Amino acid sequence: MSRIAYVNGAYQRHTDAAVHIEDRGFQFADGVYEVCEIRHGFIVDLTRHLNRLDRSLREIRIAWPMTRTALVVVIREVLRRNRIRNGLFYIQVTRGAARRDHVFPAEGTPSTLVVTAKRTDASLIARKNAVGIRAITVPENRWDRVDVKTVGLLANVLARQAAKEEGAQEAIFVEPDGTVKEGAATNVWIVDRDGTLRTRHADHGILRGITRTTLMDVAASVGIDIEERAFSVEDMLAAREVFITAATSICFPVVAINGKVIANGHPGSVSQKIREAFFDIAEKTAI
Ligand code: PDD
């Protein structure tokens, strides 16, 4: 079965699907995106992901490429055509194709919409949950509007690659004063030495992850208090537990950072409890 992608009004074979060479996503990273999990045939947290897409589009002044209802029809169709029961879908909206010029193109230039989907490897995810992952820290070098989910991810790409080259799976951005920001594609959490579950406040300094938001509902449902308070690399290295969250992974335990083992080097119980309760609490939309 060949994979199918949606591009600007047409469902195409994934291998043939393409946008124009002067698409502003390609030329300027002038676009935004969303990644959303599909589990057991349900879209997880669709409303929150579409709400964030709406915010991202408004923040960088790109018009919705179609109505929200129509976009949900397209998403469902892409998922059905690719027979996805467990996986991810990806939406990208750019400011469209136009002769290269930094200023916005003429009023009425249609925005570009791409929707793709892929299956995920459940056994790989299970293995990472069972043994945990390793991370490194890297200096924060991104612009100060990382709360907008733009496709301008060069710093994130270089950070993840640096992690890979050091035998780790995630890179964690750190401010010059040692304050932890977030991962290259994840939010970061600790259970601190006092047993408090903490993640930094979401301002313009990090992406307000949808998994992060839903995790707060999950924690409340299982009776775990959360503090939205910044922490340092030192706090993180001394934590009882460290884990990262994203729609692609829900909640991966981090067992070593910069080669230093966290706690006893095994995944902790808080992340496990949260992961187990996550799907029950999250919003589920049937495909
Ligand atoms: N990334 N922070 C950054 C920088 C991210 O790129 C992501 C997600 C998150 C977590 O957000 P959410 O819980 O909504 O997935 C935090 C996606 C998965 C990606 O780029 O593939």
CATH number at residue 96: 3.30.470.10
pTM of the complete model: 0.97
Q: Which of helix, strand or coil describes residue 186?
A: coil
Residue 24: name the closest of 92, 97, 93, 115 by CA.
97
- Phi first, then psi: what are they for 241, rounded to 5°? -150, 145
* Residues of the chain falling short of pLDDT 50: none
Q: Are residues 92 and 189 in the same domain?
A: no
> Tell me, what's the pLDDT at 249?
84
In this structure, the answer to whether residues 76 and 140 fall within a common structural domain is no
104 and 238 in a common domain: no
Catalytic residue among 118, 149, 181, 273: 149
- CA dist 168 and 191 (Å) reads 21
- The residue whose CA has the least distance to atom 16 of ligand 1 is 186
Q: What is the Cβ-side half-sphere exposure of residue 133, based on CA atoms within 13 angstroms?
A: 27
**Which of 60, 89, 120 corresponds to the end of one domain?**
120
Among residues 248, 78, 236, 62, which one has the least CA distance to residue 169? 248
Please indicate, yes or no, whether residues 170 and 104 belong to a single structural domain of this protein: no
Domain final residue, candidates 100, 120, 140: 120
Q: 96 with 233, same domain?
A: no
Residue 196: the pLDDT is 96
- Number of structural domains, the chain? 2
Amino acid identity for residue 57 in this structure:
L
Structure-block tokens of residue 241: 């537990």
Closest atom of ligand 1 to CA, residue 156? 4
Q: Which atom of ligand 1 is nearest to the CA of 52?
A: 14
Question: Do residues 82 and 130 both lie within one domain?
Answer: no
Cα dihedral 232, 234, 237, 239 in deg (nearest 10): -70
Atom of ligand 1 nearest to the CA of 90: 21
Q: Which residue is listed with tokens 């690399």?
A: 233
Could you give the 3-state DSSP secondary structure of residue 255? Answer: strand
* 23 plus 107 within the same structural domain: yes
Q: Ligand 1 pocket: which residues have CB below 6 Å?
A: 35, 156, 182, 185-187, 207, 209-212, 245-248
Residue of minimum CA distance from atom 4 in ligand 1 = 185
Residue 2 pLDDT: 86
CA 114/CA 24 separation, integer angstroms? 13
Which residue's CA is minimally distant from atom 11 of ligand 1?
A: 209
Catalytic residue list contains 284 = no
Same domain, 152 and 85: no
Same domain, yes or no: 235 and 134: yes
Ligand 1 center to residue 186 CA distance, Å? 5
- Are 68 and 153 found together in one domain? no
pLDDT value of residue 122: 87
The token pair that represents 98 in the structure block = 């136009």
64 forms beta bridges with: none
The Å distance, Cα 5 to ligand 1 centre, comes to 21
Nearest-atom number in ligand 1 for the CA of 34 is: 17
**Ligand 1 centroid vs 198 CA: distance in angstroms?**
18
8, 11, 19, 34 from 78: Cα distances, Å:
13, 8, 17, 15
Q: Are residues 141 and 281 in the same domain?
A: yes
Q: What is the CATH number of the domain that holds 190?
A: 3.20.10.10
The Å distance, Cα 129 to ligand 1 centre, comes to 18
Range of the domain at 203: 125-286
Please tell me whether residues 88 and 183 are part of one structural domain.
Answer: no
- Residue after which a domain boundary falls, among 59, 93, 120: 120
Tell the residue nearest (CA) to atom 5 of ligand 1: 185
